[in-house]
Amino acid sequence: MVAAQFPDAGGEFPLLCLGEVTSVLDSALDLAKGGKLPLFGAVLADSQTMGRGQMRRRWHSPPGNLHLGVRLPADGIFAGTAASVRIGIVLAEVLGEFGFDVRVKWPNDLVVPSADGPGIPGKVGGVLLEDRGGALLAGIGINLLHAALPDPAPDGTSPDASIPPGGSPFPPPLLPDAPPDPLPAAPTADDHPALPPASLASLGPEVPERIILCGSIVKALNSAYSLETALPDQWLLRARRLLLWLGETVVLADGPERVRGRLSGVTREGALLIDAGGTPREFTGGTLRKE
Amino acid sequence: MANKTFIDVQNALRGKTILVANRGIPARRICRSIRERFDAVAAMTATDVDKTAPAASTAQELILLGPEPRAYLDIDGIIAKAVRRGVVGVHPGWGFASEDTRFPQRCKEAGITFIGASAEAMNLLGNKVQARGIAKRLGIPVVPGSEGAVDVPTARALIKEMGLPIMLKAEGGGGGRGIFAIHDEKELEDAFFKASTMAQASFGNPRIFVEKLLDHVRHIEIQVIADIYGNVFAFDERDCTVQRNHQKLIEITPSPWRGMSRNLRERLKDYARRLVRAVGYHSLATVEFLVTPDGSPYLIEVNTRLQVEHGITECRYGIDLVEEQIAVAFGAELRYREETLRPGYCSLQVRINCEDPQNDFQPNAGLITRYVSPGGPGVRLDSNISAGYDFPSNYDSAGALLIAYAHDWEKALGIMDRALREYIVGGIKTTIPFFRQIIRHPDFRVGEIDTNFIADNPELRLYSDFAPEAERLSRLIAEISAKGYNPYVQLGEYRSATAPRLGAFEPVLPRIPSSLRRQPSPYPRGDRKALLDYIRDSGMVHFCDTTPRDITQSNTGNRFRLAEDRLIGPYLDNVGYFSIENGGGAHFHVAMMANMTYPFTEAAEWNAFAPKTLKQLLVRSTNVLGYTPQPRNLMRKTGEMICDHYHVVRCFDFLNHIENMRPIAEVVMSRPECVFQPAISLSYAKGFDVPHYVGVTEDILAVTASILGTSQEMASREIILGLKDMAGACPPHYMTELVTALRKRWPAMVLHYHRHYTDGLFIPACGAAAKAGAHILDVALGSSVRTYGQGDVLATVAYLEEELGLKCTLNKEAIRAANFVCKQIMPYYDRYCSPYFQGTDYDATLHGMPGGATSSSQEGAMKQGYINLLPYMLKFLEGTRQVIRYHDVTPGSQITWNTAFLAVTGAWKRGGEEEVKYLLEVLSHVTRTPEEELSPEMRQARLSIYRDCNDALRNLLLGKFGKLPLGFPADWVYESAFGSDWRRAIASRTEASPLETLVDVDLDAEMETCTSILKRRPNDEEFVLYLNHPADALKVIQFRARYGDANNLPLNVWFEGLKPGEEVNFYGSNGKPHHMALLSVSRPNDMGVSVCRYAMDSEIMSLEVQVAQPVGTGKAPTAMADPGDPYQVASPSTGDLWVMYVHPGDIVKAGEELFNVSIMKQEKAVLAQVDGIVKRVLKTADFKENKQMVSVKEGELIVELGPVPKMCHNASCGRHIALDDIDYCPYCGTPLA
């Protein structure tokens, strides 16, 4: 399984490079369970057969792109809901250092301007956090060379999505004495289409070597984590520069609800702030699009 | 061997079980016969839906058919159960499988007697094509048509042969279903396809045959019964002509049709007997014919079963067909003989279906909230409904069969009408009221109808489906009681359910001495000339009492109801007044809007309980009683109705544009018994001086003279001139001046002075006017006087008599009695609907706002948060009145007030108080300074005065209301009000009467619209109300339909409702006394609904009332997990559950993922901490499958585990074993490890 180990690339943090895996998240979890993946240890795979995004959506993972799994501590800046956004900001900053002008579409989609206009940026990368059995793992996918196929639209199905072992594909029936649950209406695809994919290679600057990039990412994450206590909210200022559509009118779709207002920032906990006339409200869920 | 007798069969069936394979009405009916005669056990089939239906109660046993509603068609299933039960006979009823030839076949195979025809006979006669064939061979006329099933080309050929119209009928169909009429050959292919498909779906047989569509026919059928010994009995005909879409609605025996001769009857019976004999049929059957107007019969089909309408034949002959059918089925000889069985009665049946005839006969399923069945002589009821029954939607809509019978037809109709009236089914719509319409229809009663009767008479569906009035009124009382206030009086929530009540209204009514009552009124009636001469020559002051109108109408709520008018009216009638003002103005509108009374019906009642005194009403020139200017034809219609109930018609125009009054003047003056009183709207200001008003009077006389075709002098003798001072703006000395001038100029003209109390100078002003020669004054009862109305009659009379030495002849005792009654009424109105502000306001002389408006404007300002601006607004009024000159009566007063309000609040919003003060300064400056002396800055500044005005002011400036009395205002006003558009505005303004351009109303179209909304024709009054105020007219009409006449409720109940434990007695509109006791009002539930329980006469009723908004979403509280219990698995954070991996019964290992919760792209897998078995899964999701997530809270219990139970090792058993100390598997016996 382990193809090579490059302790230098990540500083004191091990980086394991693998060939084709099911998903870096699965590999990382295995290693973590076996005690072989310390905090800020990472797994880099050439490609994934079952790369996944949110809710088990497919993340196409051809060779040449970056598929990285990092184990993070579950406290500090990665505690609670802030983790998603923080990681996104860190990644955008790292890519910025390599010359790529990448923004973060809340919560942590890495986007660049696309030919489709300011309302529909291109997605160059994404992050999925998994908290399993005590290990917090960040799965990071960045389209270095290839613009991978887009994730299915919010209500599209992924035909070959994985079924976790031991689980049933059918929804379990409720016992008669359980209260019936009013399920929210399914989100509609038409007003929240998936972002078109983009790759770093199609932009101007030179695409860094994968391992170099991984090293920078892990270092930056560790840095952010360690320096946190000194200036706890400074990152918010940095975040504002990187937040896509900041100050513009956006629509947040959460189930059947739609909230329309001005995107005024994020909170310390990573919640989105939308100003719909009056005081800004916080949101921790939903899909964002430009008005 | 002798034939088996009825008694033999009775003996044989004793103690045996007979199964009725049906439901509802037929099942109940048959079970009754089984129990009545045979001492056998009546068993009924029942699906889960029908287990507890009312009809099921008649059976002694139920054979349960399970949850599938269509199980009544499962012949094999039913027979299997019948065999198991040991049933000896099965009766199929009607519908379902009753004419399925497999049924008798399978019964025969199972050794069960089928109570009906044999399979062969059923096939021969039941199949329509076969039946036709047999009939033809026997020489029985059949409806021309095809020999058998046809295809489209054959059908076409037949059309050529027979001609159109034709019918496509399903071979396997019956009961009128699956019939398609073709009038045009073009429709043939389409209809054929539809018919065939439908036939296959409904009857399992797609074959279609063709019949000629006969016109103007009657449906006549003959019931026969035959036994196995060859005896056949044919009963008198049943006339089933009243149908809809080929479905029978009413069946009658014998036919009331004149053409039903004895010959025809015999002929039909003969055909029926022969048909039945020819196929060896033994059981009941009905042979159906269509009979053309010339008396020619044509066979259509034979029904080989018991029919829905069999009951009327039973009533006609006094027999039980079902018991005979059962006996015959078991081999008994028919007891009926032509010689011994004679008919004695006339009988008719109506099918009470749970359908809404007014809504295209939509089936109505639902809860039956009230059920009162008819009874008495001559009534038979077969039903499947009861109170509390939730009428199901899975089956047909047959609720009950109601039969009436008597010796003659007229009596039978009378009984049926009475029974339909007694029959109350509440909660769902039924065909009961529809049948009442039919029973009363003259054509129906003489039998002069054909099968198109229902279709040709759509007005049968125009009726009002009312519960009895007492029931409706009780619902209103319950609603008011539950809410604590009356939502219909338009006062908002003026009190709550717990606010203290004033209590029962039990007025003490002093006796009116009969001598007083008998005293006639001195005022001549029926001849206005005589009336006016009397007033002219009397040398007295005369009075009009406005207590029932102007004094109590200024606020929506304090307008007396008709119920209170009835109390006061008789006393007022004996005072000796010239007139009582009891109608018009806002009073008319409020009658409908808040008091739910028809204003003209109210006026008619006034003339009944106060007949001696003339009645007066107030109308507006252009709008009359409506809310917009009225075209001539509508004005005439309304005007005529006015003149039917009122004798003095006062008309005013806020611009004194007299031409506006012409149309209504024409109507009133054409009635010799009515007096027209054009009224001048008075203001006291520069330009509105005595010569001005004398000029207006000239205009008035010019118009009236031209209408009468006489001179102005003559006209002045035939009208009364009204002087209308809405605000009390004109001081006493001015009135002296004005009245003196008018009297001098037109000595013969009668003057009627109307003034409000607002400025506090009512009495001196009236005195001055009367002293100067005004003939009639408007006054009111002291106990009703408030500052926004007129002044007190007794005080005014005292002043006139004692201070001014004038003569008045009012009966003061009668006034005192009236006052005494009024004093008892006023507290309720004062408590609940007093206007905001009730003091006098001398400033009315400055700002000119009329009495009623003073209060509502203050209230408005206060509620909108602008009370601090009120003085400024009044100041604005002062100023603008001098700029735009007209009179502050409706609608002028509203326009002025709105302009002031908008101007001041607009200025305030822009620049606060400073800006407002500046605005008023400018206005004041402009009014004081002559045009030439104005500075350019001022000229500019004044343009902001009207910048915030609304369209009403703009329309006024354009002349759309009529000609402004002193001409158009200065041009700068237009620039201010219209902005850049001002030049165009000036160019387009007019001085013509707005009535000139109005197009007549299309009365026919309006009648149609109104009829379609009400689902019945409006009466004359309702139509006039609708034309004047459509929305409010519909409101009151629909209120009346829903609740009845609310004037039957005592005053306190109308305002306060009842407290639980309280009772009330009231009378219905027909004079019947009723009693209601409120038992309880429950607290509102989460949906904000309270349940009222009350006793109405002798019934207990309950009503749900929405008293509050629903609280919350009614969700159950979330279950929280116990953190110390490893078997309770909670959500790790607040977020969305998007996948649940386990379900109850799964065995899980420690560390296994149970579910996953996502929050902001962080997915938390939740793992089992221990081994266990999943006991409960409280929430579930599968985002991939259904794209839905479920919100969860941190710590919420999501999965509950239990300790892993032991399992049996036997592979073929594998069951979980819940018990602890056992050694062997309780299921399979294998030893446990």
Which pLDDT belongs to residue B1115? 54
The candidate with the shortest Cα–Cα distance to B221, out of B183, B252, B256, is B252
Q: Is the pLDDT of residue B383 over 70?
A: yes
Say whether both B992 and B1008 belong to one domain.
Answer: no
- B493 domain residue, yes or no: no
pTM exceeding the 0.90 threshold for the entire prediction? no
Contacts of A132 in chain B (CB under 8 A): 1153, 1164-1165, 1167
Total number of domains in chain B: 7
Poorest-confidence range of B8-12, B190-194, B354-358? Answer: B190-194
Q: Note whether B384 and B529 are same-domain residues.
A: no
Per-residue pLDDT tens over the stretch B660-684:
999 999 999 999 999 999 999 998 8
In this structure, chain B runs to a length of 1233
Percent pLDDT > 90 in chain B is 52
Q: Is the pLDDT of residue B853 over 90?
A: no
Reply yes or no on whether the pLDDT at B114 is more than 90. yes
**CA dist list (Å): A83 to A27, A87, A253:** 21, 6, 21
By Cβ distance, the residue of B1160, B1161, B1190 closest to A181 is: B1190
Per the model's pLDDT, the better-predicted residue between B428 and B1075 turns out to be B1075
| B193: Cβ contacts below 8 Å, ≥ 6 apart | none
Mention every residue, 6+ apart, whose C-beta is less than 8 A from residue B1052.
B501, B502, B503, B504, B505, B828
Q: What are phi and psi of B883, to 5 degrees?
A: -95, -55
ipTM of the modeled complex: 0.73
Q: B234-291: per-residue pLDDT in tens? A: 999 999 999 998 889 999 999 999 999 999 999 999 999 999 999 989 999 999 999 9
pLDDT at A152 over 50: no
B938/B533 Cα distance (integer angstroms) = 57
**Which residue of chain B is at minimal alpha-carbon distance from A128?**
B1161
**B218 has pLDDT over 60:** yes
Structural domain contains residue B171: yes
In a domain, B244, yes or no: no
Shared domain check, B539 and B423: no
Residues B828 and B692 occupy one common structural domain:
yes
Angstrom CA distances, B53 to B31, B48, B857, stand at 14, 10, 61
Contact map slice: A 87-126 vs B, CB within 8 A: 107-108
Residues B1032, B977 share a domain: no
**What pLDDT does A1 receive?**
36
Q: Is the pLDDT of residue B1114 over 60?
A: no
Q: Which of A72, A217, A53 is nearest to A131 (CA)?
A: A72
In chain B, pLDDT over 70 holds for what percent of residues? 96
Kindly indicate the confidence band of residue B1220, based on its pLDDT and cuts at 50, 70 and 90.
low
Of B1138, B1144, B1162, the CB nearest to A84: B1162
Which stretch of A61-70, A251-260, B41-50, B1127-1136 has the lowest confidence by average pLDDT?
A251-260
pLDDT bracket for residue B600 (50, 70, 90): very high
Q: Average per-residue pLDDT in chain A?
A: 76
> Is residue B432 domain-resident?
yes
Whether B305 is catalytic:
yes
Q: Which residues of B1062-1079 are buried (b: 16+ CB within 10 A; e: fewer)?
A: bebebebeeeeebebebe
Residue A150 lies in a domain: yes
State how far residue A36 is from chain B, nearest Cα, in angstroms.
19
pLDDT at A229 over 80: no
Name the nearest CA neighbour of B504 among B926, B80, B1054, B1135.
B1054
The CATH number linked to B111 is: 3.40.50.20
Q: What's the pLDDT at B369?
A: 80
Q: Are residues B59 and B165 in the same domain?
A: no
Asked if A54 is an interface residue toward chain B (Cβ–Cβ < 8 A), one would say yes
- Using an 8 Å CB-CB cutoff, list residues of chain B that contact chain A: 1115-1116, 1132-1133, 1135-1136, 1138-1144, 1146, 1148, 1151-1153, 1158-1165, 1167, 1176-1191
Residue A164 lies in a domain: no
Identify whether residues B362 and B454 lie together within a single domain: yes
Q: How far does Cα B886 stand from its chain's mean position? A: 43
Does the pLDDT value for residue B1071 go beyond 90?
no
Q: Is the pLDDT of residue B838 over 80?
A: no
Q: Which candidate in B28, B238, B305, B436 is catalytic?
A: B305
pLDDT tens digit string along B476-505? 999 999 999 998 887 778 888 888 889 899
Residue B992 pLDDT greater than 60, yes or no = yes
Smallest CA-to-CA distance from B89 within B38, B54, B36, B48 is with B38
| Distance between A67 CA and the closest CA of chain B, angstroms | 17
Q: What is the CATH number of the domain that holds A53?
A: 3.30.930.10
Of A55, A175, A285, the CB nearest to B1160: A285
B368 lies in a domain? yes
Is A33 inside a domain boundary? yes
> What is the reported pLDDT for B214?
87
Asked if residue A167 is part of any domain, the answer here is no
Residue range A10-36, pLDDT digits in tens: 457 888 998 888 999 999 998 888 888
pLDDT value at position B1136?
A: 84
- Top pLDDT among B1211 and B134 is at B134
Helix (H) or strand (E) holding A131: strand A122-132
Quick one: B977 and B1010 in the same domain?
Answer: no
Contact (Cβ atoms closer than 8 angstroms) between residue B119 and residue B104: yes
Q: Tell whether A180 is covered by a domain.
A: no
Q: Closest Cα partner for B1190 from A172, A250, A86?
A: A172
CA B912 to chain centre: 50
- CA nearest neighbour of B298 among B150, B146, B144: B144
Is residue B295 a part of any domain in this protein? Answer: no
More confident residue, B1145 or B46: B46
- pLDDT tier at B353 (50, 70, 90 boundaries)? very high
Residues B597 and B742 in one domain: yes
Q: Do B1132 and A131 touch (CB under 8 A)?
A: yes
Q: Do A128 and B1163 touch (CB under 8 A)?
A: yes
Same domain, B687 and B778: yes
Domain count, chain A: 1
Residue B736 has pLDDT above 90, yes or no: yes
Give B611's contacts (C-beta < 8 A, 6+ positions apart).
B573
Helix (H) / strand (E) element for B1102: namely strand B1099-1106
Q: Which CATH number covers residue B543?
A: 3.20.20.70
Are residue B542 and residue B609 in the same domain, yes or no? yes
Examine residue B221 and state whether it is found in any structural domain, yes or no: no
B857-880 residue pLDDT tens: 777 777 777 888 888 998 999 899
End-to-end CA distance of chain A: 47
CA angle in degrees (0–180, nearest 5) for B1083-B1087-B1088: 45
Q: Mind listing the pLDDT tens digit for each residue in B1140-1154?
A: 988 887 888 888 889
Question: Does residue B166 fall inside a structural domain?
Answer: yes
- Cβ distance of A171 and B1136 shorter than 8 Å: no
Residue A119 structure tokens: 């309302």
The pLDDT confidence band at residue A257, using thresholds 50, 70 and 90, is confident
Q: Given pLDDT bands bounded at 50, 70 and 90, which one contains residue B993?
A: confident
Same domain, B65 and B196: no
Domain that holds residue A58: 4-159+187-239
Angle at CA of residue B410, ends B408 and B414, nearest 5°? 115
Is residue A246 included in any domain, yes or no?
no
3-class DSSP assignment, residue A113:
coil
Phi and psi of B64, rounded to 5°? -80, 135
Which residue range is the domain that position B1168 belongs to?
1128-1202
Contacting residues of B for A271, CB less than 8 Å apart: 1160
Of the pLDDT bands very low, low, confident and very high (cuts 50, 70, 90), residue B785 is confident
Of residues A185 and B473, more confidence is placed in B473
Distances (CA, A) of B164 to B151, B182, B217, B453, B1177: 17, 7, 16, 21, 68
Domain final residue, candidates B833, B850, B880: B833
Mapped onto helix, strand or coil, the DSSP state of residue B637 is: helix
DSSP B287: E
What torsion, rounded to 10 degrees, do the Cα atoms B1169, B1170, B1172, B1178 define? -20
